[in-house]
Amino acid sequence: MKKARLDRRKFVKTFITTAAGVTVTFSPPKKFVSAKEIAKAPQIRFSAIGLNHGHIYGQIEAVQRGGGELVSFFAKEPDLAAAFSKRYPQAKLARSEQEILEDRSIQLIVSASIPNERAPLGVEVMQHGKDFMADKPGITSLEQLAAVRRVQEQTHRIYSIMYSERLENRATVKAGELVKAGAIGKVIQTVGLGPHRTNLSQRPAWFFDRRRYGGIICDIGSHQFDQFLYFTGSTKAEVVASQIGNVHHQQYPEFEDFGDVMLRGDQGTGYIRVDWFTPDGLNTWGDARLTILGTNGYIEIRKNVDIAGRAGSNHLFLVDQKSTRYLDCSRGPLPYGEQLVQDINNRTETAMSQAHCFLATELALKAQMQAQKISFKK
* pLDDT tens per residue, range 68-104: 999 999 999 999 999 999 999 999 999 999 999 999 9
Cβ-contact 271, 262 below 8 angstroms: yes
Q: What is the number of helices (H) and of strands (E) in the chain?
A: 14, 15
pLDDT at 248 over 80: yes
Rounded-to-integer distance, Cα 127 and Cα 118, Å = 14
Cβ-contact 213, 207 below 8 angstroms: yes
| 32 pLDDT tier (thresholds 50, 70, 90) | very low
**Residue bearing the bigger pLDDT, 249 or 16:** 249
Average pLDDT over all residues of the chain: 91
Cβ-contact 60, 42 below 8 angstroms: no
pLDDT of 42: 85
pLDDT tens-digit readout, 148-193: 999 999 999 999 999 999 999 999 999 999 999 999 999 999 999 9
Amino acid, res. 337:
G
| 15 pLDDT tier (thresholds 50, 70, 90) | very low
What domains are defined for the chain?
Answer: 35-162 (3.40.50.720), 166-336+364-374 (3.30.360.10)
pLDDT of 40: 63
pLDDT at 331 over 90: yes
Cβ-contact 261, 239 below 8 angstroms: yes
pLDDT tens-digit readout, 192-246: 999 999 999 999 999 999 999 999 999 999 999 999 999 999 999 999 999 999 9
CA angle (107 as vertex; 101, 110 as ends), nearest 5: 70
Whole-prediction pTM: 0.88
List the one residue out of 143, 133, 126, 288 whose CA is nearest residue 214. 143
